[in-house]
Amino acid sequence: MSATLGFFVGFAGVVLYGPVATEFESAMGLSGLALGLLVGAPQLTGSLLRIPFGAWVDEVGPRKPFLVLLSLSILGMAGLSALLVTAYPEGLTMELYPLVFLCGALSGCGIAVFSVGTTQTSYWYPKDRQGTVLAVYAGLGNSSPGLFTLLLPVALSALGLTTSYLVWFAFLVLGTVAYAVLAVDPPSFQLREQGIDTEEARQRAEAYGQELFPGGDAFASVRDAAAIPRTWGLVALFFTSFGGFLALTVWLPSYWTAIHGLGVQGAGALTAIAFTLPAAVLRVPGGYLSDRIGGEVTAVGSFVVVGIAALGLVVTRTYGTALGATVCLAVGIGVANAAVFQLVPKYVPEAVGGASGLVGGLGAFGGFVVPPVLGLFVDSFGESGYASGFVVFVALALVSVALSERLYRTRASVGVDAAAAGE
């Protein structure tokens, strides 16, 4: 419960700027590139910090890394709130852009708790309940960007920009305090903290019901995974699926405002309802489908859907068609996210932990890289660039289909078929 709460609180930082991007764009006079960098700022730290902090858990337990990341997020939100109180609107000029970007990057540290909370949840529950508890953890935690995409524009209308972020700051502080009160390290870490050696701590923890334990040097696992080419194929696939999920969550509100004339509140609500929430929820049936027909086949099909939907957004200016394409994007990306992670233990069985960290961390980096690229289309083509920029996702989908198909053709060489036959 505490890990899910902490993940929900920290992961909301994904949409720190996206739902109200037009407010910052007009106040600071941002170019498309600068806007894309700003809305992607939280994903910079939220993706890259997953790897070292996920590994750190196996050394000290999950509670300390969790609190460090949430505290850094509080620091960023405090800085942003102070900037808005003292400078918004007249004083919030381009000269303050580096500080606004830095505050966004710090606030995004809370996003990185995903890898920490995953480990915390796994160590607390028996093996036969892992699928259920991790689905609940990821599903509920992943819902916070969608809910905040809905709520932030409403708060903007009712309270104004500055007060809205002050309320968010208070929510982040209270959520962090609640996690600190509720969170308890799994038994083996508690026993090690008392000075008991690792082996005895493990034996005692087993008596308390703990079934999963740290597997050794986590950083060594990352190094081993990085040396395997298949890992980087999976990183590329997750870059499109989960990185794409993050990028679209923060970019779609601006698209709906610029191309279809929606207000900030309507654009945020439509993004949440048509894309962010469905994409998060569909990870669960996506995992089931991957187990039934294979992750490679599921990935190929889902990336085809992503490519077709993105092409629809490039060519259409009709509201209904764009809405349907957005929903199809949610379906494709949500299912692809589940399919890619289903493939990790199959293709990198010798370093699953390290591969999971690299795939989850570097793949999520797409949430920082893609928005500025979309912004360049706005700088080049004007307002129509908000639509034509989706050609980026057409290209990413084509590459991902080719990679998924290649994995499928080479699966026998890594023993996937043999492993499946032995199950």
Find the CATH number of the domain harbouring 398: 1.20.1250.20
DSSP string for 81-114: HHHHHHHTTTT--GGGHHHHHHHHHHHGGGGGHH
Cα 190 to Cα 194: distance, rounded to the nearest angstrom? 7
Looking at the structure of the chain, the number of domains it has is 2
Cα 245 to Cα 279: distance, rounded to the nearest angstrom? 8
| Boundary (domain end) residue, out of 165, 185, 205 | 185
- Whether 240 and 169 map to the same domain: the answer is no
Mean pLDDT (the chain) is 89
Quick check: 134 pLDDT over 80? Answer: no
pLDDT tens figures, 115-131 = 888 878 878 877 666 65
Mean pLDDT throughout 281-304?
88
Mean pLDDT throughout 268-272?
94
- Whether 229 and 178 map to the same domain: the answer is no
- Whether 4 and 90 map to the same domain: the answer is yes
Cα 27 to Cα 212: distance, rounded to the nearest angstrom? 51
Residue closest to 177 by CA, chosen among 4, 1, 9? 9
Residue 9: count other Cβ atoms within 10 Å of its Cβ. Answer: 23
pLDDT for the residue numbered 423: 38
Length of the chain: 423
Percentage of the chain exceeding pLDDT 70: 94
User: Would you call 219 helix, strand, or coil by DSSP?
Assistant: helix
Give the domain range for residue 314. 217-422
DSSP string for 130-180: HHHHHHHHHHHHHHHHHHHHHHHHHHHHHH-HHHHHHHHHHHHHHHHHHHH
Quick check: 237 pLDDT over 80? Answer: yes
Does any domain span residue 198?
no
Mean pLDDT throughout 65-70?
96
- Whether 23 and 132 map to the same domain: the answer is yes
- Whether 257 and 164 map to the same domain: the answer is no
Tokens of 418: 């043999």
Does any domain span residue 141?
yes
| Model pTM above 0.75 | yes
Does any domain span residue 340?
yes
Which residues have CB under 8 Å from 161's CB, separation 6+? 20, 23, 84, 88, 89
Mean pLDDT throughout 175-192?
91
Mean pLDDT throughout 149-172?
94
Mean pLDDT throughout 7-31?
93
Cα 54 to Cα 357: distance, rounded to the nearest angstrom? 7
Mean pLDDT throughout 258-269?
94
DSSP string for 357-373: HHHHHHHHTHHHHHHHH
pLDDT tens figures, 332-350 = 999 998 888 788 878 887 7
